[in-house]
């Protein structure tokens, strides 16, 4: 009896979810000379500096009427002076750590091979192994010390507001 009632009410529940769904309204696009870098929408984290030199960090709660609502506080999108993006993904941060590990591994492998073969310590490494290990260590370190990218809006970077609600008059 219960399963029959669930089977009959399931299409009705699906119909209710269609009416209750809320579409995304607007987006902001950070561009560098016409090429898209980041697209912002509601629910994304954002760190901005306003033209009044206030740093604001939070979540975009809404984008509507050319305004950005960061944790409920509205700002006109033209009041944003600088955008800061944290590099948190493995692709951005982990590659540097991996490169430093590989550089240390090249040095450790040269020492282990030299000890295993019984060579003198001065012949464990070749100039190629020094260059490879040094390059991996330095570039890996440089990738890990810059955890944030800052985009000052103006000449090079621009922030565009895109209205996606076509039902309203533009």
Q: What is the DSSP string of 53-122?
A: S-EEEEEEEEEETTEEEETTEEEEGGGEEEEEEE--SIIIIIHHHHHHHHHHHHHHHHHHHHHHHT--GG
Q: How many residues does the chain have?
A: 170
Q: Is the sign of the CA dihedral 121, 124, 126, 132 positive or negative? A: negative
CA–CA distance, 137 with 167 (Å, rounded to integer): 55
pLDDT by residue, tens only, the chain of 170 residues: 656 556 666 666 555 565 555 555 688 888 888 888 888 888 888 888 888 989 988 898 988 888 889 888 888 888 989 988 876 655 666 788 889 999 999 999 888 888 888 888 778 888 888 899 999 999 888 888 766 778 888 888 888 888 876 665 55
CA–CA distance, 135 with 143 (Å, rounded to integer): 12
For the chain, the helix, strand and coil percentages under 3-state DSSP, each to the nearest 5? 40, 35, 25
Q: Is 103 in contact with 135 (CB distance < 8 Å)?
A: yes
CA–CA distance, 25 with 41 (Å, rounded to integer): 9
Cβ atoms within 10 Å, residue 63: 23
The torsion angles phi and psi of 147, rounded to 5 degrees, stand at -80, -5
């Amino acid at each position: 009896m219960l399963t029959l009632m669930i089977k009959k009410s399931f299409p009705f529940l699906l119909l209710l979810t269609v009416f209750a769904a809320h579409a995304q309204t607007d987006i902001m696009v950070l561009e560098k000379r016409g090429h898209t870098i980041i697209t912002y929408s509601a629910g994304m984290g954002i760190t901005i500096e306003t033209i009044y030199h206030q740093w604001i960090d939070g979540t975009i709660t809404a984008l509507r009427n050319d305004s950005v609502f960061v944790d409920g506080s509205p700002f006109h999108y033209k009041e944003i002076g600088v955008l800061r993006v944290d590099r948190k993904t493995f692709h951005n941060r982990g590659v540097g750590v991996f490169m430093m590990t590989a550089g240390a591994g090249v040095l450790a492998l040269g020492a282990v091979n030299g000890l295993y073969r019984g060579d003198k310590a001065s012949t464990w490494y070749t100039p190629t192994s020094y260059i490879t290990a040094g390059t991996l260590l330095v570039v890996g370190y440089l990738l890990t010390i810059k955890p944030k990218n800052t985009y000052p809006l103006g000449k090079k970077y621009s922030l565009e507001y895109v209205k996606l609600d076509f039902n309203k008059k533009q």
